[in-house]
Amino acid sequence: MQNNTKIFRLEGKVQHYAWGGSDYIPALLSRQNPEKQPFAEYWMGGHENAPALVVTAEGKIPLNEFIAGNPATLLGKTVNEKFGRLPYLLKVLDVKDMLSIQVHPAKSAAVAEFEAENKKGTPLNDPKRNYKDDNHKPELMVALSDFWLLHGFRSTEDTAVIIGKIPELNFLIPYHDQKDHARIYKHVMTMPQHEVNQALQPLLDRIIPLYKEGKLEKSDPSFWAARAAITFNEPGRIDRGIFSIYLFNLVRIEPDYAIFQDAGVPHAYLEGQNMEIMANSDNVLRGGLTNKHVDVDELMKHVKFTPVEPRLIMGSVEMETPEGQFAETRFKTPAPDFELRQIWLPEGEQLTVPVDTADIFFALAGKAEVKSGDTSFELNRGEAMLAIPGAEVSVKAIGDEVVIFRATAGI
């Protein structure tokens, strides 16, 4: 580490998943994209699949290797003893097409199941492998636009109303339980494919024309069911994840509001842009709205079938400028792996934040001068930096107002 430097420029990695948009992330990163390639996610973390690069005087070093070289110093004593690695992964997402319905395992389950698949000899890159690492994956997302998602099971009362008023779903009434959704969800997830086709085809025949004619609102589950059918159905196979669109909460989040998704809560991102932070994991168990591998038996082991009341989170004020203006807000969750903060500074204002572990700063808007010790540089929109323990990071807004997300550990 040169000259006792405490802050470093950081270069993230773009993930070009097919569901991503082609404009938002390239514009954010000031990159050209003439071929309209999908830019789905921008990763800023130390995950081995796509580690960010730390810019040092000796060259660019993958963040996971950079930290592994001296974890006690670069993570701080507490975080190093608990995790031994950077515990979080920070991302920007641009969701153009719907993502798969998914569930993430709890930590203990991830450890056990990862080891079990290793003993079977299943390669890590096998598309039918369920566990890519030994970690859980709680997530927090902050909306950067109007954002739509599915999040947990509806109340049993709402489910009764929906399957009662939609004629094509009336056949599910005998499977409905007032206590939880285990019985009805198991039924739709284990139905033979030909029965799924028979049940859903009449519904799709009715709602797809309405969708194409612009007669369905996004607040109507049938809007997303029709879109899912157009996106994911294959000849002879209607995606059974369409049932879940009617069983899960359909949630719209306005910009600057957040939502937390813990282990076992089924969810799916539908549309919009967000800032996301999660435990450093890539473990995903899919439940539909996908052409990828779906292991129903494994999925059912981890799903929480109890109804969820979606709870939107607002950032709580942690620090203010000397003039008493909001300067840093904190999105609180129960996850020890991560915490997301948001710095907002009007032109000319300045804030100094102490750092006691490896923190990642990402500029969403504006231009800032950042300084710690003898090191300083400009952080422009779309740029990131790493700060390590002992840094006293001074952030000053230059020109327009500055919005910076700051990722840190949650302990």
Whole-number Cα distances in Å, 107 to 29, 89, 102, 281, 302: 34, 16, 16, 10, 11
Strands 88-95 and 59-62: unpaired
What stretch of H or E contains 210? helix 193-212
pTM of the model: 0.93
139 is in an annotated binding site: yes
267 a known binding residue?
yes
For 249-280, what is each residue's pLDDT tens digit? 999 999 999 999 999 999 999 999 999 999 98
Active site residue 286: yes
189 by DSSP, 3-state: which?
helix
Domain ranges for the chain, please list them. 316-408
**Which pLDDT belongs to residue 48?**
87
Q: Is 136 annotated as a binding residue?
A: no
Read off the pLDDT of residues 24-33 as tens digits, 9 standing for 90 and up: 999 999 999 9
Q: Where are the beta strands (DSSP E) in 226-382?
A: 248-253, 258-261, 267-279, 285-288, 316-320, 326-331, 339-345, 350-354, 359-372, 375-380
Between CA 313 and CA 393 the distance in angstroms is 26
Q: What are phi and psi of 237, to 5 degrees?
A: -140, 105
Instruction: Output the CATH code of domain 316-408.
Output: 2.60.120.10
Residue ranges in the chain modelled with pLDDT below 70:
1-3, 319-326
227, 286, 381, 406: the active-site residue: 286
| Residues 243, 150: Cα–Cα separation, whole Å | 12
Q: Is 187 a known ligand-binding residue? A: no
**Which pLDDT score, from 0 to 100, does residue 324 have?**
57
Tell me what pLDDT residue 321 has: 58
Report how far apart, in Å, the C-alpha atoms of 16 and of each of 41, 88, 100, 231, 265 are: 7, 21, 16, 18, 26
Residue 298 confidence (pLDDT): 87
